[in-house]
């Protein structure tokens, strides 16, 4: 009995040695890439890209990890906090400011070749912050209005016209005028469409160019949210159960041919193709409110490189590979966004009416405010919208509360 612990200790040591010997097998350095799942992007494309790159890479391998858009930031945060960030990740460009405050990201121009960077359209370089390129653009696209011409031929010149037409299209439970997500998700894009169309801006600008007081409760904000609530609750011209639908739930109702209008991004065509939509569609600009100038929303996403990752040089090589037309143009086509690379922009597949409309929209569109803490503000704005949709607050009261919360959080 007394000898038993010694025997056990020897056995444990043997098991440990064998385990360590197994772990010691030499593996090639790995580049991890958090790959946000855009609408229209297929698993096959991800797998093909990974295989093609790894086949030609001599001294390292890339692992492309698919991540749902809503989970990307969470995954990055936990990996950064755990000290094991990926080399690369798709990020919303506005997140970069948060990562910069913690010195988490590297300047991409240190690792990506000049040839690749020179091929990127200068207008897409939103991630150039204080003169440093902190992310390479992966997708940049203005939002537009898609019209189901089987239900309406009307191309509205103003929001008011769209509302009137939406009422005519709506037949309870069968067809709807406008698609409106009413459940919070990654971005408050839907409020933003109406807010910008009413001439709104999220913040007043200080003299030194920094963001000042939150102005979401301005007349434009109240007008936008009131308009949304009226369409949904008074006219009932949005899809049934809109308060339970995120963008991902709501847009399929349009793809099913049941709605006249949807305010949407460039992925509309590829998503409709995937949904086997058969109706005819026309693209137009998101209309402004009467008396306002055209102002849509443009969103850019970037690929960030994380400073504490081990294989940034190899990550740069992967980006050079991925940003060739053979892959990047296919990627752009799948997600439906206009190309960010100059060479892909000249390809015939990007000369369609959709891309023409997107190009025109980009001329007058505004981006999100590039401000740290945007995700919390996003949640606050969604809360305000939901309170109004639930009848718990008036648009004015909800937005006043939201503006106060954002100002407090900004401090």
Partner 1 sequence: MHSVSSHELSLKQRLWNPEARLAYVLMAPTVLFLAAFLFFPIGYVFVMSFFRTNKLSELTEFVGLANYVERLKDREFWETVGRSMVWTATGVVVKSLMGMVIALLLNVEYKGRKVMRMLFIIPWASSVPISALLWQWVYHPEFGLLNHTLKATGIWTNPPTWLGEQLSAFIACMWVDIWAGIPFFALVFLAGMQAIPPELYESGQIDGVNGRQAFRWITLPGLRDLILISTMLSAIWTFNDFNVIYILTRGGPAGATNILTVSVYMNAFVNLKFDKAAVTAVFVFLILTAVSIVYARFYFRKEND
Which of 375, 394, 396, 400 binds partner 1 (CB under 8 A)? It is: 375
Binding mask 22-61 for partner 1 (x = CB under 8 A): ----------------------------------------
Helix (H) or strand (E) holding 312, with range, is helix 312-322
Nearer to partner 1, 252 or 359 (CB): 252
Instruction: Kindly state whether residue 394 participates in binding partner 1, applying the rule CB under 8 A.
Output: no
Among 16, 244, 326, 363, binds partner 1 (CB under 8 A): 244
Q: What is the DSSP code string of 215-239?
A: -TTSHHHHHHHHHHHIIIIIS--B-
State which of residues 88, 112, 253, 263 lies at the interface with partner 1 (CB under 8 A).
Answer: 253
Give the footprint of partner 1 on residues 286-325 (CB under 8 A): none
Figure out which of the listed residues 40, 86, 92, 182 binds partner 1, where binding follows CB under 8 A: 182
Rounded-to-integer distance, Cα 411 and Cα 407, Å: 7
Instruction: Check residue 161 for interaction with partner 1 (CB under 8 A).
Output: no
Using DSSP's 3-state secondary structure scheme, residue 91 falls into strand
CA–CA dist 136, 126 (Å, integer) = 9
239 touches partner 1 (CB under 8 A): yes
376 counts as binding partner 1 under rule CB under 8 A:
yes
What residues have CB less than 8 Å from 380, skipping those under 6 apart? 402, 405, 406, 409
Please give the structure tokens belonging to residue 338: 């206009």
Is residue 159 a contact residue for partner 1 (CB under 8 A)?
no
Told to check if 4 binds partner 1 by CB under 8 A, we report yes
User: CA distances (Å), 28 to each of 35, 62, 83, 321, 396, in order?
Assistant: 21, 10, 20, 18, 58
The minimum distance between CB 102 and partner 1, in angstroms, equals: 5
> Which residues, 6 or more positions from 68, have their beta carbon under 8 angstroms from its beta carbon?
36, 37
Contacts 24+ apart (CB under 8 A), 16-23: none
- Total number of residues that touch partner 1 (CB under 8 A): 39
Query: By the 8 A CB rule, do 85 and 287 touch?
Result: no
**Residues within window 76-95 making contact with partner 1, judged by CB under 8 A:** 77-78, 80-81
CB of 115 to partner 1, least distance (A): 34
Measured from the CB atom, the residue of 11 and 47 that comes closer to partner 1 is 11
Q: How near is the Cβ of 213 to partner 1 at its closest, in Å? A: 20
* Helix, strand, or coil (residue 27): coil
What is the pattern of x (binds partner 1, CB under 8 A) and - over residues 195-234? ----------------------------------------
- Does position 19 interact with partner 1 (CB under 8 A)? The reply is no
The piece of 50-58, 163-171, 180-188, 355-363 that touches partner 1 (CB under 8 A) is: 180-188
Q: Which residues contact 332 (CB under 8 A, 6 or more apart)?
A: 139, 338, 339, 340, 344, 350
Taking the C-alpha atoms of residue 225 and residue 215, their distance in angstroms, rounded to an integer, is: 14
Q: Answer whether 292's CB lies under 8 Å from 155's CB.
A: no
Q: At what angle do helices 219-229 and 189-197 cross, to 10 degrees?
A: 120
- Which residues of this chain interact with partner 1, rule CB under 8 A? 1-2, 4-5, 8-9, 12, 73-74, 77-78, 80-81, 98-99, 101-102, 104, 182-184, 239-245, 249, 253, 375-376, 379, 383, 386-387, 389-390, 392
């Amino acid at each position: 009995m007394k000898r038993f612990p010694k025997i056990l200790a020897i056995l444990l040591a043997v098991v440990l040695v064998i385990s360590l010997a197994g772990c010691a097998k030499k593996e090639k350095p790995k580049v991890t890439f958090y790959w946000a799942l855009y609408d229209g992007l297929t698993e096959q494309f991800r797998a093909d890209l990974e295989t093609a790159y790894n086949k030609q890479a001599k001294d390292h391998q890339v692992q492309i990890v698919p991540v749902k858009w809503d989970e990307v930031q969470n995954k990055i945060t936990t990996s950064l906090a755990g000290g094991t960030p990926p080399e690369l990740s798709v990020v919303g460009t506005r997140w970069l400011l948060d990562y910069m405050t913690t010195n988490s990201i590297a300047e991409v121009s240190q690792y990506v070749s000049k040839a690749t960077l020179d091929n990127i359209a200068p207008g897409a370089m939103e991630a150039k912050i204080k003169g440093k390129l902190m992310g390479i653009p992966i997708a940049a696209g203005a939002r537009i209005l898609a019209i189901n011409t089987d239900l309406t031929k009307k191309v509205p010149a103003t929001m008011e016209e769209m509302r009137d037409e939406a009422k005519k299209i709506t037949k309870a439970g069968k067809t709807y005028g406008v698609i409106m997500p009413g459940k919070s998700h990654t971005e408050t894009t839907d409020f933003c469409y109406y807010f910008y169309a009413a001439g709104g801006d999220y913040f007043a600008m200080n003299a030194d160019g920094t963001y000042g007081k939150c102005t979401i409760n301005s007349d434009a904000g109240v007008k936008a949210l009131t308009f949304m609530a009226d369409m949904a609750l008074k006219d009932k011209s949005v899809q049934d159960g809109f308060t339970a639908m995120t963008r991902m739930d709501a847009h399929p109702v349009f793809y099913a041919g049941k709605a006249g209008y949807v305010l949407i991004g460039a992925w509309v065509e590829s998503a409709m193709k995937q949904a086997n939509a058969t109706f005819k569609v026309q693209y137009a600009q998101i209309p402004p409110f009467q008396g306002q100038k055209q102002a849509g929303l443009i969103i850019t996403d970037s690929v960030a490189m994380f400073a504490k990752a081990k294989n940034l040089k190899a990550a740069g090589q992967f980006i050079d590979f991925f940003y060739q037309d053979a892959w990047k143009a296919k990627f752009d086509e799948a997600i439906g966004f206009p190309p960010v690379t100059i060479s892909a922009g000249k390809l015939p597949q990007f000369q369609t009416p959709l891309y023409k409309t997107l190009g025109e929209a980009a001329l007058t569109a505004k981006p999100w405010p590039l401000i740290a803490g945007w995700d919390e503000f996003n949640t606050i704005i969604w809360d305000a919208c939901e309170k109004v949709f639930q009848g718990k607050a008036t648009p004015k009261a909800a937005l006043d509360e939201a503006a106060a919360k954002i100002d407090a959080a900004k401090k």
